[in-house]
Amino acid sequence: MASAEERRFEVLRAIVADYVSNQEPVGSKALVDRHNLNVSSATVRNDMAALEEDGYITQPHTSAGRIPTDKGYRFFVDRLSEVKPLSAAERRAIVQFLEGAVDLDDVLRRSVRLLAQLTRQVAVVQYPTLTTSTVRHVEVVALTPARLLIVLITDTGRVDQRAVDLGDVISDDNVARLRDVLNGTLSGHRLPEAAAKVSDLPEQAPSDLRDVMVRVSTVLVESLVEHPEERLVLGGTANLTRNVADFPGSLRQVLEALEEQVVVLKLLAAARNPGAVTVRIGEENEDEQMRSTSVVSIGYGSDQVLLGGMGVVGPTRMDYPGTIAAVRAVATYVGRILSGR
């Protein structure tokens, strides 16, 4: 015989499954009919009474049914011994969809679309933090004899292009010299270090390249510093509006909060280790506007380097095992793609 605690957890698990699926309060008769609990209706009623007394389920109105509380969802998530894995076909679809991306922006846009489709929630992905990125290559292209295009490429696949007006004509040989100096100084350095080195370039440049280097350095610094407005990609907000009943009186607040980059970045702040999923449920969310939601987040990158965070925001009535599996799978593949670029 299972212990009373184990049996009550099975009752709670059944209530969570039914409520997530049907959005209706769950009664003891329905549990006995739908789930193989191997106990009588009277025992289930007693277990439900004990779960309610302990704050894991609650009675939303005078019906006989119960729904999980934030505490109940937390107990359920903490006891998830195994997360249902994605099927081989789902994993193949993820890989094919993401590997078709042409650059970093495309990878992140595709990731958000994919996560929103897989989970039917709001998906959010943070751009790789520039402090962990290194300069892979600096390309210099002459657009006209007096105008250059500077292309900065990082190891995470970020491509930043800037035009520089020189005010004077530059020869092809000097374009090549400029390219060599920039790559010799910046390649392989993390962006904060590269930004510091750029400021010294004009003084170190050969005298005939000094004026050009002043203009190029001024523009290049812009590419090497963090751009907060580019930090996030968000998708699937329409998914929240399909379940307005899950956000009694607070859907507008949630949507407004999601528009604030600072709030969303805070939601992802817990994702510090690639592969480690964090689940915040209801009242556990720091921001008051988000307390009717659950956030499933994860860090992505390689074993050595955390590039950024990604996750899903939805109602507390969420398919936690399925959502955790999807978030983990997409993060794994995004980390592999960007680390391998």
- For strands 135-144 and 122-126, give the pairing: unpaired
User: 191-204 and 172-186 helices cross at what angle (nearest 10)?
Assistant: 130
Residue 131 has pLDDT above 80, yes or no: no
Higher-pLDDT residue of 329, 268: 329
Q: How far apart are CA 10 and CA 268, in angstroms?
A: 31
Q: How far apart are CA 83 and CA 80, in angstroms?
A: 7
The chain-wide mean pLDDT, for the chain, equals: 86
- pLDDT of 226: 63
Residues 210, 140, single domain; the answer is yes
Distant-in-sequence, close-in-space partners of 306: CB < 8 Å, separation ≥ 6: 132, 272, 273, 274, 299, 300
Residue 120 has pLDDT above 80, yes or no: yes
pTM of the model: 0.79
Task: Please say which residue of 197, 223, 249 terminates a domain.
Answer: 223
CATH number of the domain within which 104 lies? 3.30.450.40
Residues 235, 98, single domain; the answer is yes
Task: Please say which residue of 207, 223, 239 terminates a domain.
Answer: 223
Would you tell me how many other CB atoms lie within 10 Å of the CB of residue 3?
A: 8
**Domain total of the chain:** 3
Residues in the chain: 341
Q: How far apart are CA 41 and CA 47, in angstroms?
A: 10
Please give the average per-residue pLDDT across 280-286, as a whole number.
Answer: 90
pLDDT digit string (tens) for 175-214?
A: 999 999 999 999 999 888 888 888 888 888 888 888 888 8
Asked whether the beta carbons of 209 and 178 are under 8 A apart, the reply is yes
CATH number of the domain within which 179 lies? 3.30.390.60
Residues 152, 197, single domain; the answer is yes
Confidence of residue 1 (pLDDT cuts 50, 70, 90): very low
The DSSP secondary-structure symbol of 76 reads: H
Q: How far apart are CA 42 and CA 51, in angstroms?
A: 14
Structural domain that includes position 61: 2-77
Please name the amino acid found at residue 153. I
Tell whether the torsion through CA atoms of 35, 37, 41 and 45 is positive or negative.
Answer: negative
Q: Select from 19, 81, 86, 11 the least CA-distant residue to 44.
A: 11
Confidence of residue 2 (pLDDT cuts 50, 70, 90): low
Please give the average per-residue pLDDT across 212-226, as a whole number.
Answer: 84
- pLDDT of 230: 61
